[in-house]
Amino acid sequence: MNDNVAQILNILMEKISEEEISVKKEELIQYLLDKGYPLEDIDAAFQLIFSQHQQNVIDLTPLAGVELSTSRLRLLTVDEKMQLTREALGVLLRIQASGLLDLQKWEYLLLTLFNEQEPPVDSPDLWEGLQKILPEEDLALLARLIPEFKPFMGDAKFFIN
């Protein structure tokens, strides 16, 4: 997923949660076009949000070499989204897209975030939760994939297979 798609996802999630009623896709598309986003990136974001929203799950394409026990994760509820900062919501979407979390780890992460952290949940809170469920190699991979996590790896060695 490129940065434009991630930014569009953040905008769409914000617009959808603000409206709390159905939003016309045409209006959202025009809004994003006016912001300067390419139509193909808008289309990719819409496919991620709206087709999966109807299914209540997200089909993930895992990274090369990373196997999932399941490739279907549930979407966040409105209450869960309200507890996240905009940045954290975007980071969570990129974590989902990474393919590193199976359904059990995903649920454990969400339980940890929403039961042990005070809202608003931000990127450092996500990192703290991920440290409880992922091995060091996967954390290093996420730190390479997600710029918000790079500062948390510090001087740790990045594993090369």
Nearest to 108 by CA among 80, 130, 92, 139: 130
What three-state secondary structure class fits 74? strand
Sketch the domain layout of the chain as residue ranges. 1-55, 76-153
pLDDT at 12: 75
Contacts of residue 151, defined as CB under 8 A and 6 or more positions apart, other chains included, come to none
pTM of the model: 0.52
Stretch (H or E) spanning 52: helix 52-55
Q: How confident is the model at residue 122 (pLDDT cuts 50, 70, 90)?
A: very high
- Interatomic CA distance for residues 78 and 97, integer angstroms: 20
Q: How confident is the model at residue 127 (pLDDT cuts 50, 70, 90)?
A: very high
